[in-house]
């Protein structure tokens, strides 16, 4: 059940597959009962009535399989608020996609999860906010969330599905990094994502409330390294380090337009889920154009694909095809220039300012969270 199955009914197009994506993040809806202050969803939400229909998602999945996509991440928001999730999943399984449900778990029932397991769901990625229930529920602004998540983790294993526990780490739960990893091991997860907060969207608004000091971050990494050694062969770690305390950036999305694509609830196709904040990009919509054409020729995909767009110091750097210049959204958020070197990089002229911003905010008492609330046109 956890193997990647071959495409059953769709013949991949070799021309597109030569440089096709392997992963699709399908953001089925921005609706979510939780209000995490680090949510990467946009500040402006899509109206439920503007979301892609069941048939439109099914068509998108057939197209995705035909251009070589292997892995489907059913995400949101909370994908389980879509009552047609099972129909979408069924099509994904039929076309041979490996299916990963990214969920907070709070709306799930055992019957519904069992139904999805029977349809062929491969994997569940369950997020937790903390191991202390009161703090976890405070962070998510959802009473009872932590207790429900423990129950859901148990169902996932009982049903024979692969489980990843995802933890977004920040100054208000970092003291429990060890216990959160132990939680994942005890839950029987095969993988844990220890993801230090990435400061876009709601997280950027809440940065001062979320950012730990460098010393606390470094201590947490020692804990993670120790547990990685302890649990080698038992659980796989995906660790996303804290950008503000790093020396080199990550190859964001594996490089812009290289292997992953993201489709928003209303059908816009993005090279990265945060890229709508960047100026000068035109995002094509699956309602207007074939996915293959968007991937190969879309203005937003071409804008930062490869290395031609780079300025110095990236342009002449020997790491330019390793990290692909880092994150465009972070470069824009901090420098105002989407083509600038990611300030995470030591070679950026703004790296010192970047680190100083973190130090200043982390040293001050955390302000109250600004919770993700569905207001404005997307509320519903
Ligand atoms: S980060 Fe929290 S609020 Fe945002 S979609 Fe995920 S569970 Fe919902
Ligand atoms: S200068 Fe650019 S390409 Fe070189 S390491 Fe820094 S971000 Fe990466």
Per-residue pLDDT of 308-365, as tens digits, reads: 999 999 999 999 999 999 999 989 988 999 999 999 999 999 999 999 999 999 999 9
> Long-range pairs for 351-354 at CB < 8 Å and ≥24 separation?
354/244
pTM exceeds cut of 0.85: yes
Cβ count within 10 A of residue 172: 20
Q: Which ligand is nearest to the CA of 265?
A: 1
Separation CA 187–CA 152 (nearest Å): 10
pLDDT at 374: 62
With 60 as the cut, is the pLDDT of residue 3 above it? no
With 70 as the cut, is the pLDDT of residue 233 above it? yes
| Centre of ligand 2 from the C-alpha of residue 262, in Å | 25
Mean pLDDT for 114-122 is 98
Q: Are 248 and 323 in contact (CB under 8 A)?
A: yes
With 70 as the cut, is the pLDDT of residue 296 above it? yes
Separation CA 362–CA 245 (nearest Å): 12
Q: Which ligand is nearest to the CA of 317?
A: 2
| Centre of ligand 1 from the C-alpha of residue 17, in Å | 32
260 strand-pairing partners? 23
pLDDT at 200: 82
Mean pLDDT for 111-124 is 98
SS3 state at 276? helix
The confidence band for 8, taking pLDDT boundaries of 50, 70 and 90, is very low
Mean pLDDT of the chain: 92
pLDDT at 11: 55
Separation CA 319–CA 315 (nearest Å): 9
pLDDT at 378: 41
Report the share of the chain in percent with pLDDT over 90.
Answer: 84
Is the Cα dihedral 307, 313, 319, 325 positive or negative? Answer: negative
In the numeric block, which tokens belong to residue 13?
Answer: 């197009």
pLDDT at 252: 84
For ligand 2, say whether the CB of 138 is within 6 Å of any of its atoms: no
With 80 as the cut, is the pLDDT of residue 43 above it? no
Strand order in the sheet with 98-103: 236-240, 191-196, 162-169, 123-128, 98-103, 71-75, 23-27, 260-263, 269-270
Mean pLDDT for 209-238 is 97
For ligand 2, say whether the CB of 343 is within 6 Å of any of its atoms: no
The confidence band for 4, taking pLDDT boundaries of 50, 70 and 90, is very low
For ligand 2, say whether the CB of 341 is within 6 Å of any of its atoms: yes
pLDDT in tens, 272-292: 988 998 999 999 999 999 999
| Centre of ligand 2 from the C-alpha of residue 253, in Å | 16
Instruction: Give the phi and the psi of residue 71 in degrees, each rounded to 5.
Output: -120, 130
Q: Which residues contact 272 (CB under 8 A, 6 or more apart)?
A: 252, 253, 256, 260, 262, 328, 329
User: Between 101 and 200, whose confidence is greater?
Assistant: 101
pLDDT at 47: 80
pLDDT at 10: 52
């Amino acid at each position: 059940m956890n193997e990647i199955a071959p495409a059953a009914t769709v013949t991949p197009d070799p021309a597109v597959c030569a440089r096709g994506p392997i992963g699709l993040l399908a953001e089925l809806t921005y609706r979510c009962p939780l209000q995490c202050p680090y949510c990467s969803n946009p500040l402006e939400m899509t109206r439920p009535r503007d979301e892609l229909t069941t048939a439109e998602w099914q068509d998108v999945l057939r197209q995705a399989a035909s251009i070589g996509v292997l892995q489907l991440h059913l995400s949101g928001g909370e994908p389980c608020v879509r009552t047609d999730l099972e129909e979408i999943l069924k099509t994904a399984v039929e076309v041979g996609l490996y299916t990963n449900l990214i969920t907070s778990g709070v709306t799930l029932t055992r019957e519904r999860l069992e139904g999805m397991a029977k349809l062929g769901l491969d994997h569940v990625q369950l997020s937790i906010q903390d191991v202390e229930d009161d703090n976890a529920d405070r962070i998510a602004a959802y009473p009872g969330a932590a207790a429900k998540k423990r129950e859901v983790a148990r169902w996932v294993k009982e049903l024979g599905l692969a489980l990843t526990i995802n933890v977004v780490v920040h100054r208000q739960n970092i003291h429990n990094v060890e216990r959160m990893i132990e939680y994942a091991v005890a839950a029987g997860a095969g993988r844990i994502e220890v993801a230090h907060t990435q400061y876009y969207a709601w997280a950027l608004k809440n940065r001062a409330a979320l950012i730990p000091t460098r010393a606390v971050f470094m201590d947490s990494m020692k804990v993670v390294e120790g547990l990685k050694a302890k649990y080698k062969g038992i659980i796989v770690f995906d660790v996303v380090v804290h950008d503000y305390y790093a020396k080199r950036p990550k190859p964001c999305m594996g490089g812009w337009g290289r292997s992953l694509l993201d489709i928003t609830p209303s059908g816009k196709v993005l090279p990265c889920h945060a890229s709508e904040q960047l100026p000068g990009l035109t995002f094509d919509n699956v309602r207007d154009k074939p996915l293959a054409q968007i991937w190969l020729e879309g203005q937003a995909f071409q804008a930062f694909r490869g290395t031609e767009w780079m300025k110095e110091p990236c342009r002449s750097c020997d790491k330019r095809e390793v990290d692909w210049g880092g994150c465009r959204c972070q470069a824009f958020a901090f420098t105002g220039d989407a083509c600038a070197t990611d300030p995470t990089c030591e070679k950026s002229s703004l790296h010192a300012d970047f680190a100083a911003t973190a130090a200043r905010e982390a040293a001050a008492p955390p302000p109250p969270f600004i919770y993700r609330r569905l207001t404005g046109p997307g509320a519903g």
